[in-house]
Structure 1
């Protein structure tokens, strides 16, 4: 889940409330540290924290894109380097193998006939609740 820049409903509500409280008295002091000045300072601190957060998120998105772009360029150059070794020395050379290429010579696909027979037997015999598999001959 990517991070998103955000707003603050609490900050919006507090700013409206501050304006309303100032309409009562610019220097309202309700005691116990509940003053217009203290409230305004906390609103400003919240705004700064939110702005800082959104700047960091924005920079993070930019950084993620930069890393992705450089990784793509690196992957492309890695492939080109390997192809350059293949062109110069051949795909069946020691140099190609050292560079991370794999020789086409010993590559054979092995199939497991037992697995194919078991799968077809299970399909043709229906469910296999008894866990006994009997080969089906075609």
Structure 2
């Protein structure tokens, strides 16, 4: 899932406020630190910084998609290689195990009825000790 682009409510609010101040007096200046020019400059700086951030985010999202595709391809190749080893040497061979597979003889398959018997025996033993 890609990361969402960033917007700024503060930037939108400042733009509306600057438009309002501009309509009152286009060259309004209260002090050196509080002028319409300084407000517009700060708005532009924030807008540029958000644009840079969103551009970088697009690059990251693109790279993430490429990585996910490469992981998928590598997983498929690895699985196919294991299948080739299984075909050549068999699923119960040491070579299959060395390639990362689980040998057929090492797989433990429990039958449901035996599991139920084991559970019943465990309950009986617990009842005797309690």
Could you list the runs of 5+ residues in structure 2 that have no partner in the other structure?
none
RMSD: 2.8
Who is 1:15 aligned against? 15
CA drift of 1:79 comes to 0.3
Q: What is the TM-score normalised by the length of structure 2?
A: 0.77
Who is 2:84 aligned against? 84
Number of residue pairs matched?
A: 125
Q: Which moved more, 1:12-21 or 1:38-47?
A: 12-21
Q: Which moved more, 1:108-117 or 1:97-106?
A: 108-117
Could you list the runs of 5+ residues in structure 1 that have no partner in the other structure?
122-131
Matched position secondary structure for 1:105? helix
Distance 1:39 1:23 in 2: 14
Who is 1:129 aligned against? none
Q: Which moved more, 1:97-106 or 1:109-118?
A: 109-118
Distance 2:85 2:120 in 1: 43
CA drift of 1:32 comes to 4.2
Who is 2:72 aligned against? 72
Matched position secondary structure for 2:102? coil
Q: What is the TM-score normalised by the length of structure 1?
A: 0.74
Q: For 1:47-66, what aligned pairs fall within 5 Å after superposition?
A: 47-66=47-66
